[in-house]
Amino acid sequence: MASSDLEQLCSHINEKIGNIKRMLSLRNCGQEPTLKTTLDKIGDEIIVVNELLNKLELEIQYQEQTNHSLKELCASLEEDYKDVEHLKENIPPHLPQVTVTQNFVNVPDVDPGEPVKVEEPAPTKKHPKEQRSIKEMSFITSDEFNGIPAYMKSRLTYCQINDVIKEINKAIVSKYKILYQPKKCMSSVARNLYHRFIDEETKDTKGHYFIVEADIKEFTTLKADKRFHVILNILRHCRRLSEVRGGGLTRYVIT
Protein backbone atom coordinates (compact mmCIF):
# COMPACT_ATOMS: atom_id res chain seq x y z
CA MET A 1 0.00 0.00 0.00
CA ALA A 2 1.38 3.42 -0.93
CA SER A 3 2.09 5.95 1.76
CA SER A 4 -0.39 8.43 0.25
CA ASP A 5 -3.21 5.89 0.42
CA LEU A 6 -2.29 5.09 4.03
CA GLU A 7 -2.45 8.77 4.94
CA GLN A 8 -5.89 9.18 3.33
CA LEU A 9 -7.17 6.12 5.21
CA CYS A 10 -5.87 7.49 8.50
CA SER A 11 -7.44 10.88 7.83
CA HIS A 12 -10.79 9.27 7.06
CA ILE A 13 -10.70 7.16 10.24
CA ASN A 14 -9.79 10.20 12.36
CA GLU A 15 -12.71 12.15 10.84
CA LYS A 16 -15.12 9.36 11.73
CA ILE A 17 -13.74 9.22 15.28
CA GLY A 18 -14.20 12.98 15.63
CA ASN A 19 -17.83 12.73 14.48
CA ILE A 20 -18.51 9.95 17.02
CA LYS A 21 -17.02 12.06 19.83
CA ARG A 22 -19.22 15.05 18.91
CA MET A 23 -22.31 12.84 18.79
CA LEU A 24 -21.51 11.41 22.25
CA SER A 25 -20.93 14.93 23.55
CA LEU A 26 -24.30 16.12 22.22
CA ARG A 27 -25.96 13.03 23.67
CA ASN A 28 -24.56 13.79 27.09
CA CYS A 29 -25.72 17.43 26.80
CA GLY A 30 -29.27 16.29 26.12
CA GLN A 31 -29.31 14.34 29.37
CA GLU A 32 -28.48 17.38 31.53
CA PRO A 33 -31.65 19.13 32.84
CA THR A 34 -30.41 22.69 32.22
CA LEU A 35 -29.24 22.03 28.69
CA LYS A 36 -32.31 19.95 27.85
CA THR A 37 -34.58 22.98 28.45
CA THR A 38 -32.39 25.08 26.16
CA LEU A 39 -32.43 22.41 23.46
CA ASP A 40 -36.24 22.16 23.68
CA LYS A 41 -36.53 25.94 23.17
CA ILE A 42 -34.18 25.75 20.22
CA GLY A 43 -36.30 22.92 18.78
CA ASP A 44 -39.49 24.99 19.15
CA GLU A 45 -37.85 27.97 17.49
CA ILE A 46 -36.65 25.77 14.63
CA ILE A 47 -40.27 24.61 14.11
CA VAL A 48 -41.49 28.25 14.05
CA VAL A 49 -38.75 29.22 11.58
CA ASN A 50 -39.65 26.24 9.41
CA GLU A 51 -43.32 27.34 9.33
CA LEU A 52 -42.28 30.90 8.39
CA LEU A 53 -40.11 29.53 5.60
CA ASN A 54 -43.07 27.52 4.27
CA LYS A 55 -45.29 30.63 4.30
CA LEU A 56 -42.54 32.65 2.62
CA GLU A 57 -42.23 30.01 -0.09
CA LEU A 58 -46.00 30.10 -0.72
CA GLU A 59 -45.95 33.92 -0.89
CA ILE A 60 -43.08 33.83 -3.40
CA GLN A 61 -45.03 31.39 -5.60
CA TYR A 62 -48.10 33.64 -5.42
CA GLN A 63 -46.08 36.73 -6.36
CA GLU A 64 -44.48 34.88 -9.28
CA GLN A 65 -47.91 33.85 -10.58
CA THR A 66 -49.21 37.42 -10.16
CA ASN A 67 -46.19 38.79 -12.00
CA HIS A 68 -46.76 36.34 -14.86
CA SER A 69 -50.45 37.31 -15.08
CA LEU A 70 -49.58 41.02 -15.12
CA LYS A 71 -47.10 40.49 -17.94
CA GLU A 72 -49.77 38.67 -19.98
CA LEU A 73 -52.27 41.47 -19.26
CA CYS A 74 -49.73 44.10 -20.28
CA ALA A 75 -49.03 42.29 -23.56
CA SER A 76 -52.77 42.01 -24.24
CA LEU A 77 -53.30 45.73 -23.58
CA GLU A 78 -50.45 46.59 -25.93
CA GLU A 79 -52.06 44.50 -28.68
CA ASP A 80 -55.45 46.17 -28.06
CA TYR A 81 -53.79 49.60 -28.21
CA LYS A 82 -52.15 48.74 -31.54
CA ASP A 83 -55.52 47.54 -32.89
CA VAL A 84 -57.23 50.76 -31.78
CA GLU A 85 -54.49 52.89 -33.37
CA HIS A 86 -54.79 50.85 -36.58
CA LEU A 87 -58.57 51.34 -36.64
CA LYS A 88 -58.15 55.04 -35.94
CA GLU A 89 -55.73 55.45 -38.84
CA ASN A 90 -57.76 53.28 -41.23
CA ILE A 91 -61.36 54.45 -40.80
CA PRO A 92 -63.32 53.33 -43.90
CA PRO A 93 -64.18 56.41 -46.02
CA HIS A 94 -67.77 55.24 -46.57
CA LEU A 95 -68.70 55.63 -42.90
CA PRO A 96 -70.81 58.75 -42.19
CA GLN A 97 -69.02 61.61 -40.53
CA VAL A 98 -70.41 62.54 -37.12
CA THR A 99 -70.62 66.26 -36.49
CA VAL A 100 -71.61 67.79 -33.19
CA THR A 101 -73.27 71.18 -33.31
CA GLN A 102 -74.01 73.36 -30.36
CA ASN A 103 -76.57 76.10 -30.38
CA PHE A 104 -75.73 79.04 -28.17
CA VAL A 105 -78.48 81.48 -27.36
CA ASN A 106 -77.45 85.02 -26.46
CA VAL A 107 -79.69 86.30 -23.70
CA PRO A 108 -79.67 90.12 -23.55
CA ASP A 109 -79.58 91.94 -20.26
CA VAL A 110 -83.15 92.42 -19.11
CA ASP A 111 -84.30 95.09 -16.71
CA PRO A 112 -86.17 93.29 -13.93
CA GLY A 113 -88.66 96.17 -13.81
CA GLU A 114 -89.66 95.86 -17.46
CA PRO A 115 -92.17 93.25 -18.62
CA VAL A 116 -90.70 90.51 -20.73
CA LYS A 117 -92.08 90.23 -24.25
CA VAL A 118 -92.53 86.70 -25.47
CA GLU A 119 -92.11 86.38 -29.21
CA GLU A 120 -94.21 83.74 -30.87
CA PRO A 121 -92.27 81.42 -33.17
CA ALA A 122 -92.76 82.03 -36.85
CA PRO A 123 -94.93 79.42 -38.50
CA THR A 124 -92.92 76.79 -40.30
CA LYS A 125 -93.23 76.60 -44.03
CA LYS A 126 -95.07 73.56 -45.18
CA HIS A 127 -93.63 71.76 -48.13
CA PRO A 128 -96.16 71.34 -50.88
CA LYS A 129 -95.17 67.67 -51.21
CA GLU A 130 -93.09 65.47 -48.96
CA GLN A 131 -89.90 64.15 -50.49
CA ARG A 132 -90.06 60.43 -51.18
CA SER A 133 -87.39 58.28 -49.58
CA ILE A 134 -85.14 56.22 -51.82
CA LYS A 135 -83.97 52.81 -50.67
CA GLU A 136 -80.21 52.39 -50.70
CA MET A 137 -78.04 49.32 -50.38
CA SER A 138 -76.61 48.79 -46.87
CA PHE A 139 -72.86 48.43 -46.49
CA ILE A 140 -71.14 45.10 -45.87
CA THR A 141 -70.20 44.49 -42.24
CA SER A 142 -66.83 43.13 -41.18
CA ASP A 143 -68.46 39.86 -40.07
CA GLU A 144 -70.10 39.45 -43.48
CA PHE A 145 -66.80 40.20 -45.21
CA ASN A 146 -65.03 37.54 -43.15
CA GLY A 147 -67.77 35.07 -44.12
CA ILE A 148 -67.24 35.55 -47.87
CA PRO A 149 -65.42 32.53 -49.35
CA ALA A 150 -61.80 33.22 -50.21
CA TYR A 151 -62.20 32.07 -53.81
CA MET A 152 -64.99 34.62 -54.28
CA LYS A 153 -63.38 37.74 -52.84
CA SER A 154 -59.83 36.92 -53.98
CA ARG A 155 -57.70 40.00 -53.19
CA LEU A 156 -60.62 42.40 -52.77
CA THR A 157 -60.63 44.34 -49.51
CA TYR A 158 -63.46 45.32 -47.19
CA CYS A 159 -63.19 48.99 -48.21
CA GLN A 160 -63.13 48.25 -51.96
CA ILE A 161 -66.45 46.38 -51.77
CA ASN A 162 -68.11 49.11 -49.74
CA ASP A 163 -66.75 51.79 -52.11
CA VAL A 164 -68.60 50.05 -54.95
CA ILE A 165 -71.76 49.96 -52.80
CA LYS A 166 -71.36 53.70 -52.29
CA GLU A 167 -71.23 54.26 -56.07
CA ILE A 168 -74.23 51.96 -56.64
CA ASN A 169 -76.21 53.98 -54.11
CA LYS A 170 -75.21 57.13 -55.97
CA ALA A 171 -76.64 55.68 -59.17
CA ILE A 172 -79.85 54.56 -57.42
CA VAL A 173 -80.46 57.97 -55.86
CA SER A 174 -79.72 59.80 -59.13
CA LYS A 175 -82.07 57.54 -61.09
CA TYR A 176 -85.03 57.73 -58.73
CA LYS A 177 -84.69 61.45 -58.19
CA ILE A 178 -85.42 61.78 -61.90
CA LEU A 179 -88.31 59.31 -61.70
CA TYR A 180 -89.85 61.20 -58.76
CA GLN A 181 -89.33 64.61 -60.37
CA PRO A 182 -92.37 66.35 -61.88
CA LYS A 183 -92.25 66.01 -65.66
CA LYS A 184 -92.82 69.70 -66.23
CA CYS A 185 -89.59 70.45 -64.36
CA MET A 186 -87.48 67.98 -66.34
CA SER A 187 -84.81 68.99 -68.81
CA SER A 188 -84.63 67.25 -72.17
CA VAL A 189 -81.78 65.01 -70.93
CA ALA A 190 -83.71 64.06 -67.79
CA ARG A 191 -86.84 63.38 -69.86
CA ASN A 192 -84.95 60.99 -72.14
CA LEU A 193 -83.55 59.17 -69.09
CA TYR A 194 -87.02 59.06 -67.57
CA HIS A 195 -88.45 57.27 -70.62
CA ARG A 196 -85.54 54.81 -70.62
CA PHE A 197 -86.16 54.04 -66.94
CA ILE A 198 -89.84 53.37 -67.61
CA ASP A 199 -89.07 51.13 -70.60
CA GLU A 200 -86.68 49.03 -68.47
CA GLU A 201 -89.29 48.23 -65.83
CA THR A 202 -90.98 44.82 -65.81
CA LYS A 203 -93.61 43.14 -63.71
CA ASP A 204 -90.81 41.50 -61.69
CA THR A 205 -89.26 44.87 -60.79
CA LYS A 206 -92.54 46.56 -59.89
CA GLY A 207 -92.28 48.07 -56.40
CA HIS A 208 -88.51 47.46 -56.25
CA TYR A 209 -85.50 49.69 -56.73
CA PHE A 210 -83.13 48.55 -59.45
CA ILE A 211 -80.43 49.77 -61.81
CA VAL A 212 -78.76 48.52 -64.98
CA GLU A 213 -75.21 48.89 -66.26
CA ALA A 214 -76.23 51.96 -68.26
CA ASP A 215 -77.08 53.69 -64.95
CA ILE A 216 -73.63 52.84 -63.58
CA LYS A 217 -72.01 54.45 -66.63
CA GLU A 218 -74.39 57.43 -66.50
CA PHE A 219 -74.12 58.39 -62.84
CA THR A 220 -70.82 56.96 -61.56
CA THR A 221 -67.16 56.63 -62.49
CA LEU A 222 -67.22 52.83 -62.15
CA LYS A 223 -66.29 50.60 -65.04
CA ALA A 224 -68.44 47.55 -65.73
CA ASP A 225 -65.36 45.33 -65.97
CA LYS A 226 -64.50 41.88 -64.62
CA ARG A 227 -63.69 43.26 -61.15
CA PHE A 228 -67.06 45.03 -61.01
CA HIS A 229 -68.93 41.81 -61.82
CA VAL A 230 -66.92 39.92 -59.19
CA ILE A 231 -68.13 42.45 -56.60
CA LEU A 232 -71.71 42.10 -57.87
CA ASN A 233 -71.39 38.35 -57.33
CA ILE A 234 -70.25 39.03 -53.75
CA LEU A 235 -73.21 41.37 -53.21
CA ARG A 236 -75.57 38.62 -54.43
CA HIS A 237 -73.87 36.23 -51.99
CA CYS A 238 -74.44 38.74 -49.16
CA ARG A 239 -78.08 39.22 -50.26
CA ARG A 240 -77.67 42.88 -51.11
CA LEU A 241 -79.12 42.48 -54.61
CA SER A 242 -80.71 40.02 -56.99
CA GLU A 243 -80.82 39.83 -60.79
CA VAL A 244 -83.82 40.06 -63.09
CA ARG A 245 -83.02 39.29 -66.72
CA GLY A 246 -85.16 40.00 -69.75
CA GLY A 247 -85.14 41.92 -73.01
CA GLY A 248 -81.35 41.69 -73.26
CA LEU A 249 -80.92 43.54 -69.97
CA THR A 250 -79.75 42.49 -66.55
CA ARG A 251 -81.51 44.45 -63.83
CA TYR A 252 -79.81 44.61 -60.41
CA VAL A 253 -82.59 44.77 -57.82
CA ILE A 254 -81.82 46.10 -54.34
CA THR A 255 -82.98 43.61 -51.72
Phi, psi of 244 (to 5 degrees): -125, 115
Q: How confident is residue 18, by pLDDT bands cut at 50, 70 and 90?
A: confident
Report the C-alpha dihedral over residues 247, 248, 250, 251, rounded to 10 degrees.
-30
Sign of CA dihedral 121, 126, 127, 130: positive
**Does the reported pTM lie above 0.85?**
no
Q: Is the distance from CB of 120 to CB of 222 less than 8 angstroms?
A: no
- pLDDT tier, 105 (very low <50, low <70, confident <90, very high otherwise): very low
> For residue 195, what are the CA distances in angstroms to 157, 192, 201, 209, 254?
37, 5, 10, 16, 21
Distance separating alpha carbons of residues 51 and 45, to the nearest angstrom: 10
Please state the separation of Cα 90 from the chain's center in Å: 12
Which tops the pLDDT comparison, 32 or 116? 32
Summarize pLDDT for 41-59 with one digit per residue, the tens: 777 888 888 888 888 888 8
Rounded CA gap, 83 and 129, in Å?
Answer: 48
First to last CA, the chain: 107
DSSP 128: S
Contact in structure between 230 and 160 (CB atoms under 8 Å): no
Confidence of residue 117 (pLDDT cuts 50, 70, 90): low
Sheet holding 241-246, edge to edge: 210-211, 249-254, 241-246
Which residue has better confidence, 203 or 11? Answer: 203
Q: Averaged over 14-21, what is the pLDDT?
A: 85
Q: Which residues pair with 252 in a beta bridge?
A: 211, 243
Of the candidates 86, 111, 232, 246, the one whose C-alpha atom is nearest the C-alpha of residue 165 is 232
pLDDT at 157 over 70: yes
Cβ atoms of 212 and 252 within 8 Å: the answer is yes
Confidence at 91, pLDDT banded by 50, 70, 90: confident
Specify the pLDDT at position 100: 47
Provide the pLDDT confidence category of residue 254 given band limits of 50, 70 and 90: very high
- On whether the CB atoms of residues 206 and 125 are closer than 8 A, the answer is no
